[in-house]
Amino acid sequence: MKFYFPDSQDLVSPSYDFKRDEYSPLRVRQRDDKYAHEVLTKPAYQGLLVSKAIVDGSVGGVGKYTGAQRQRLFRLGVRGFFRLPDDVTTIGDCGAFSYVNEHTPPYTTDEVLDFYEECGFDSGVSIDHVILGYQRPAMIAKPPPPEWVERREISLKNGLDFIDNARARKSTVEPVGAAQGWDPESYADSVQQLQSFGYKRIALGGMVPLKTPDILDCLMSIDEIRSTDVELHLLGVTRFEAISKFARLGVTSFDSTSAFRQSFMDDRDNYHTDTGAFTAIRVPQVDGNLMLKRAILSGQVSQAQAIRSERSALKALREFDVGTCTLHHALEALAEYEEVIAVKKSYLTLYEETLSSAPWKSCPCGLCEKHGIDIAIFRGTERNKRRGFHNLAVLAAKMKTLPKPIKRKTTSV
């Protein structure tokens, strides 16, 4: 099972000063900042996924790349741009959720193939159109809305055009067909048609909103018609608890930002371990947190008092990490800061669990050893992204513990 990490230009600065919370004045982002695969001791993913919408933008807005970055990507190729090791593969897609509200996708097959080939991707996904809805088999059967049918037809037509054009060009990019559906039967039919076009690898799109049992229902229906030599990729889906089941049903790869984003988006599960997760310790920056700045400007919070309490909390945490401060004193400093900035929700009980366990002290990811408690502090992009990279390393380690899937035997007719 391969895990692909979707790119969104997430890097960290090795020269960032955590004590002063500032960057080096000599820093050049593209030259000096590092990707996850460059700062972690062990590989955190087997592949990298890059969306055309992220690079070029779409009807929904501009992409995440500057003009200079885009030119550099085309000049160096995806492997050179990301400084990828040889064992990390690449896949490109269109970023269908970026144009999900449009009547038709904003790209042509030739434009997408040009993008994949010019960037030097190993694989590329055909243009699909996300279906905004799902019907469970147990629901009362009713005809799908015409828009759902049209979107699936668009995806299948683009799938046929994509593989035909790739063959005509003798493209070096492995074609991956994109399947859409609104229930297990329609997903299975999409896969069956893509197989008939000649695809040996098929990506299942539009499953991000689905619950795990619904995904399994679809995979079981697909498995009834799937050729034994056809591999499946799940677009945007992790669901670690079900990965073994996914593998038995033909899934050989998936991509997701979930583990990374939980480091700063989840309410509690910010720092992952092989047995669970801990809550990161929130110490918002007085001069960098938008909500806190608004509270100071409105007079609700004293800036001077907030700065003193902020520094006191950080000092206590670092002293706790090296053993010169008690857990009780560290929690008192955090409680004082929470009171000064008038937080709406206290996490002190959860912080006690995090500090008592100090999971960063035994983590071999490379970042935890280097940064200590700072990686468990919820504060600014440099700490939060490092914690996200750590989470990717934990996911990779957990995946190695999964049992190898049993290959389905081919039955003779």
The catalytic position among 7, 10, 33, 93 is 93
Q: Is the model's pLDDT at 269 over the cut of 80?
A: yes
Q: What is the percentage of the chain residues whose pLDDT exceeds 90?
A: 84
What confidence category does residue 405 fall into, taking pLDDT thresholds of 50, 70 and 90? low
User: Band of the pLDDT at 291, cuts 50, 70, 90?
Assistant: confident
pLDDT mean over 224-239 = 96
Same domain, 207 and 346: no
Query: Do 72 and 208 lie in a common domain?
Result: yes
> What was the pLDDT predicted at 407?
53
pLDDT per residue as tens digits for the range 42-62: 889 999 999 999 999 877 667
The SS3 call for residue 322 is: helix
**Does residue 402 carry a pLDDT above 80?**
no
Residue 272 lies in a domain: no
**Domain C-terminal end among 219, 239, 256:** 256
Residues 87 and 223 in one domain: yes
Domain-located, residue 229 = yes
For position 341, what pLDDT does the model report? 87
Report the C-alpha gap between 174 and 16 in whole angstroms: 39
How many DSSP H helices and E strands does the chain contain? 16, 12
Torsion of CA 361, 385, 49, 259, to 10 degrees: 60
Residue 33 CA to residue 261 CA, distance in Å, equals 19
Residues 53 and 195 in one domain: yes
- In this predicted structure, the answer to whether residue 299 has a pLDDT above a threshold of 80 is yes
Question: Which has the minimum average pLDDT: 140-144, 176-180, 181-185, 259-263?
Answer: 140-144
Residue 99: C-alpha distances to residues 70, 182, 187, 268, 359 (Å): 20, 18, 21, 31, 41
Rounded mean pLDDT of 341-346? Answer: 89
Same domain, 194 and 290: no
**Of the ranges 206-215, 311-320, 401-410, which one carries the lowest mean pLDDT score?**
401-410
pLDDT classification of 410: cutoffs 50, 70, 90? very low
Question: Is the domain of 60 the same as that of 155?
Answer: yes
Closest CA to 341 of 392, 379, 383, 386: 379
Specify whether 135 is located in the same domain as 248.
yes
- Give the confidence band of 409 by pLDDT, cuts at 50, 70, 90: very low
- Give pairs for 353-356: CB < 8 Å, separation 24+: 353/278, 353/279, 354/271, 354/278, 354/279, 354/280, 354/281, 355/281, 355/320, 355/327, 355/330, 355/331, 356/327
Q: Is residue 263 part of a domain?
A: no
- The mean pLDDT value of the chain amounts to 93
The answer as to whether 405 is a domain residue is: no
- Domain holding 156, by residue range, is 46-256
Q: Is the pLDDT of residue 327 over 50?
A: yes
Q: Which long-range contacts (CB under 8 A, 24 or more apart) does 267-273 make?
A: 268/347, 268/350, 270/378, 270/387, 271/354, 271/359, 271/360, 271/375, 271/376, 271/387, 271/390, 271/391, 272/390, 272/391, 272/394, 272/395, 273/359, 273/363, 273/394
* Residue range 96-119: mean pLDDT, rounded: 96
Mean pLDDT of 57-71: 84
Q: Please check whether residues 343 and 297 belong to one and the same domain.
A: yes
Label residue 171 left, alpha or beta by phi (over 0 means left) and psi (-120 to 50 means alpha). beta
For residue 411, pLDDT beyond 70: no
Contact 85, 39 (CB under 8 A): no
Distance of CA 329 to the CA centre of its chain: 37
CA gap 160, 58 in Å, rounded = 23
User: Within a domain: residue 34?
Assistant: no
Residues 194 and 318 in one domain: no
The pLDDT-based confidence of 412 (bands split at 50, 70, 90) is very low
- 281 touches 377 (CB < 8 A): yes
Contact indicator for 233, 252 with CB cutoff of 8 Å? yes
Mean pLDDT of 18-22: 94
Residues 238, 308, single domain; the answer is no
The model's pLDDT over 123-161, given as tens digits with 9 standing for 90+, comes to 999 999 999 899 988 666 788 999 999 999 999 999 999
Q: pLDDT at residue 283 above 70?
A: yes
Domain boundary among 194, 222, 256: 256
Q: Which of 10, 161, 183, 255 is catalytic?
A: 255
Task: Confirm if 412 and 61 have CB atoms less than 8 A apart.
Answer: no
- At residue 140, the pLDDT reads 62
Q: How far, in Å, CA of 212 to CA of 218, rounded?
A: 10
In a domain, 41, yes or no: no
Higher pLDDT, 316 or 401: 316
**C-beta separation of 182 from 135 below 8 A:** yes
In a domain, 40, yes or no: no
Question: Is the predicted pLDDT of residue 301 greater than 90, yes or no?
Answer: no
The amino acid that residue 138 corresponds to is A
Active site residue 255: yes
Distance separating alpha carbons of residues 4 and 396, to the nearest angstrom: 11
Q: Is 21 a catalytic residue?
A: no
Do 50 and 89 form a contact (C-beta atoms < 8 A)?
Answer: no
Q: What is the CATH number of the domain that holds 171?
A: 3.20.20.105
| Domains held by the chain: number | 2
Alpha carbon 230 to chain centroid, angstroms: 25
Same domain as 115, residue 69: yes
For the segment 155-176, the average pLDDT, to the nearest whole number, is 98
| Residue 338 belongs to a domain | yes
What single-letter DSSP state applies at residue 59? T
Same domain? For 125 and 204 the reply is yes
